[in-house]
Amino acid sequence: MRRNRTSIRLALLALLLFAAAAFAQDSQYRIRAKIDLVVVPVTVKGAGGELATGLTQKDFVIYEDGRRQTITNFTADPVPLSAAVVIDTGLMADALSKVQKTFPALAGAFAKEDEVAVYHFDKTVTRSLDFSANPEHIEAAMLKLRELKPDENPALAANWRGPFANIGPVINGFPVLPPSLAGPPYTAPAKPPAKVLNDAIFTAAADLGKRDHNRRKMILVISDGINTGNDHSFDDASRILTEMGIEVYAVALDQPWPYNKVSVLDDYAKVSGGDTYFVKSTQHLERAYATATEEARNQYVIGYISNNEVLGSGPAFRTIRVLADEGKLKVRSRRGYYAFP
């Protein structure tokens, strides 16, 4: 009799364990489904370049690899920022001085809920301030950077004047001058100094990836776009931006047309869903800081569960295209994401 009761109890215990295991597997499946949610922050502007407000979920259509997706999540609520400010201190003396004068406006572009880290780069990358929401700490880091002097070789500065140093007709890279204007033999411009823009973006992105996922993550980079001597390639930096969901907002100095059309700074903004501001004056610099943080903080956020299947063992890159108001409004978003099996 006792043996029968023991057998019944063991059978019931086994049944309970089986039910618990099944529940755990089901719960695991449901949690994994939530992780598959693709989140896409988007910035929408009208014809005049102003932010388009008041849109609803019905105003958006999103495609992944050409297939329309069903939007399951949507919000237009502003969120706090985790921002990495990346400053090019390898600028020419006049440009660096111009940027340094705008540091109070740069610090003031962030709200009290935001957290900010500060980096500067030339031949190497240096983090001047770890992430902090304390305005005094941010201002102190900016103040230290105001004391930096350009590491400039006078002979190099005389020869390197950017991509438009040669003015006038050119044949095979050599300027052609009339006989009356011919002077000493032509000397090729010196190569630009090493400036590790890719490394700076990569370093800031790696640190941003560790911040709270509930914050909007942005890199605000101020540079002339010279980009040489890096350990990381553009593709390396772009991949980590994509994987971490980080947007690059670039304030580009001394980049006239048509050079601004092929600027690496603009490439970073386009691949990540950020923006680029080509500036000349201190007033334009200060306006760019405020515009960048406003755009990053006030975005529409679209969520969907992909209906595309990942084939094979490795991650697949999925392209994303977002339309607003039947394509009548200009939309910026990241170009895509990596889907894992």
pLDDT tens, residue by residue, 269-310: 999 999 999 998 899 999 999 999 999 999 999 999 999 988
Domain for residue 124, yes or no?
Answer: yes
Do 200 and 68 lie in one domain? The reply is no
Do 108 and 72 lie in one domain? The reply is no
pLDDT tens, residue by residue, 44-70: 999 888 999 999 999 999 999 999 999
Do 327 and 244 lie in one domain? The reply is no
pLDDT tens, residue by residue, 170-204: 444 444 445 444 555 555 555 556 899 999 999 99
pLDDT at 193: 67
Do 130 and 250 lie in one domain? The reply is yes
Element (H, E) at 219: strand 216-223
pLDDT at 315: 87
pLDDT tier, 165 (very low <50, low <70, confident <90, very high otherwise) = very low
Do 144 and 93 lie in one domain? The reply is yes
Average pLDDT value for the chain: 82
Do 205 and 256 lie in one domain? The reply is yes
pLDDT at 257: 62
- The arithmetic mean of pLDDT across residues 243-248, rounded, is 96
Domain for residue 6, yes or no?
Answer: no
Are the C-beta atoms of residues 87 and 150 closer than 8 Å to each other? Answer: no
Do 207 and 247 lie in one domain? The reply is yes
For residue 20, is pLDDT > 60? Answer: no
Domain for residue 223, yes or no?
Answer: yes
pTM of the model: 0.79
Q: Which domain holds residue 305?
A: 37-78+301-341
Of residues 78, 43, 82, the one with CA closest to residue 204: 82
Of residues 262, 338, 292, the one with CA closest to residue 65: 338
For residue 217, is pLDDT > 60? Answer: yes
Q: Of how many residues is the chain composed? A: 341
Do 240 and 313 lie in one domain? The reply is no
Residues of the chain with pLDDT > 90, as a percent, come to 65
Q: How far apart are the first and last CA of the chain?
A: 53
Residues of the chain with pLDDT > 70, as a percent, come to 75
Measured CA distances, 341 to 25, 32, 39, 61, 317 (Å): 18, 12, 18, 25, 12
pLDDT tier, 13 (very low <50, low <70, confident <90, very high otherwise) = very low
For residue 21, is pLDDT > 70? Answer: no
Domain for residue 163, yes or no?
Answer: no
- The domain that holds 244 is classified in CATH as 3.40.50.410
